[in-house]
């Protein structure tokens, strides 16, 4: 219980601080998730709605709603797929790229602060121990 209680408390703190970091940049956590998935795709920062849906583990309807809302804010744009006439690509706008980059910088700062009590060796050790616990769960 000692381990999982602490992991749970840390997860709650991380969630709370992530939300605060994103809100400081005008984003909800789900908005950050979509924008960062596009950012990770690399230039030209685009993906199909289906690939976003798979990566973010949401339904088709949820993904459509999220894209609609981000498009209304000018953070993403839909365009015809260059590979499939029936397909659509979702791409970051310059405003979307700027917003997610700033929010990511804030997130990195928050995560660094959470781990500040650990030196590099302890952070590496913690990462390795957590990886060992998670490997069987991810298969």
Task: Give the pLDDT of residue 31.
Answer: 97
pTM for this entry: 0.85
How deeply is 133 buried, as exposed, middle or buried, from its count of CB atoms within 10 A (0-12, 13-18, 19+)? exposed
Beta bridge partners of 78: 90
Confidence of residue 81 (pLDDT cuts 50, 70, 90): confident
Strands 76-80 and 88-92 turn out to be antiparallel
Domain ranges for the chain: 2-138
Q: What is the mean pLDDT of the chain?
A: 94
Dihedral sign (CA 51, 57, 62, 65): negative
- Return the CATH architecture of domain 2-138: Orthogonal Bundle (1.10)
Angle at 113 between CA 110 and CA 117, to 5 degrees: 155
């Amino acid at each position: 219980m000692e381990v999982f209680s602490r992991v749970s408390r840390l997860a709650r703190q991380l969630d709370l601080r992530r939300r605060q970091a994103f809100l400081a940049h005008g984003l909800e956590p789900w908005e950050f998730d979509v924008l960062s998935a596009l950012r990770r795709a690399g230039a030209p920062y685009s993906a199909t709605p289906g690939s976003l849906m798979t990566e973010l583990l949401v339904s088709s309807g949820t993904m459509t709603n999220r894209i609609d809302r981000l498009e209304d804010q000018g953070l993403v744009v839909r365009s015809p797929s260059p590979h499939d006439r029936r397909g659509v690509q979702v791409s970051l706008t310059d405003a979307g790229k700027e917003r997610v980059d700033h929010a990511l910088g804030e997130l990195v700062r928050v995560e660094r602060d959470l781990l500040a009590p650990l030196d590099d060796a302890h952070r590496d050790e913690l990462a390795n121990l957590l990886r060992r616990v998670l490997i069987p769960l991810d298969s």
